[in-house]
Structure 1
Amino acid sequence: MSLNNYFVPGYGISRTVIQGEIRYFCGPDAIVRPYVHQGRDGFLVTTAGAPLTKEQIEDLKIASHQYEQRQAERNGDEWYVNRPVPVAQKSRNN
């Protein structure tokens, strides 16, 4: 049994979702890990099964969107609102 490795661009895909769903799509021995390919963030999938189809990747993006929305609601945050976040910074005295 030979294993296939391939890159899946990470844009729109939650790490939690792809790690939870990869075995459903690619078989029980499939694994996924964060990976950077040619400067692009994404995931390296290793499986003996068939690679993800475009439809499956779209399903992962939809599930990721729903997951992120539930997480934001659970934390009491507004959904994907780009607002300033206070960060404590040390003053630099030169």
Structure 2
Amino acid sequence: MAASVNSYFVPGYGISRTVIQHEIRYYCGSDAIVRRYTHEGRDGFLVTTSGPPLTQAQIEDIKNASRDYEERQAGRGRDGAGLFVNRPIPVGQQVRRSS
């Protein structure tokens, strides 16, 4: 008898794609897959699995792991200044001169 496969939407706010793709099999089973998805105008992820769905506590764990991951990634900036995601970063600024 084949196992029933379920698909459900997880809102993406605060979740890193890299982290959820890495963690999904741990939480939902070895056959679980996740992909980017937009549902009713909201960006997130479509999880497909024959295993159990993510619980709210597991989603919070993924959000915490995502925050840690993003902070580590941001700390790898060129100058090693520990830049954080969503902080403005000056890039090739030019001073405007009035004529």
| TM bin (shorter chain) | 0.7 to 0.9
Cα gap change, 1:84/1:69 in structure 2, threshold over 3 Å: closer, same or farther? closer
Pairwise CA RMSD: 1.5
Query: Comparing both chains, which one has the higher relative contact order based on Cα–Cα distances under 8 Å and sequence gaps of 6 or more?
Result: 1
Name 2:26's counterpart in structure 1: 24
Partner Cα separation in structure 1 for residue 19 and residue 85 of structure 2: 18
Name 1:78's counterpart in structure 2: 83
Number of equivalences? 87
Deviation at 1:80, TM superposition (A): 3.1
Q: Which runs of 5+ in 2 are unaligned?
A: 93-99
Larger-Rg structure: 2
| % identical aligned pairs | 64
Q: What amino acid is the match of 2:4?
A: S
Deviation at 1:85, TM superposition (A): 4.9
Name 2:38's counterpart in structure 1: 36
Extract structure 1 runs of 4+ deviating beyond 3 A. Answer: 84-87
Deviation at 1:53, TM superposition (A): 0.1
Greater CA drift, 68-77 or 41-50? 68-77
Q: What amino acid is the match of 2:29?
A: G
Q: Which runs of 5+ in 1 are unaligned?
A: 88-94
> Once the two structures are superposed, what CA deviation does each residue of 1:9-53 show, in whole Å capped at 9, x if it has no partner?
000000000000000000000000000000000000000011000
Q: What amino acid is the match of 2:37?
A: Y
Q: What amino acid is the match of 2:32?
A: A
Q: 49, 60, 63: which one pairs with 1:61? A: 63
Q: Taking structure 2 as the reference length, what is the TM-score of the superposition?
A: 0.81
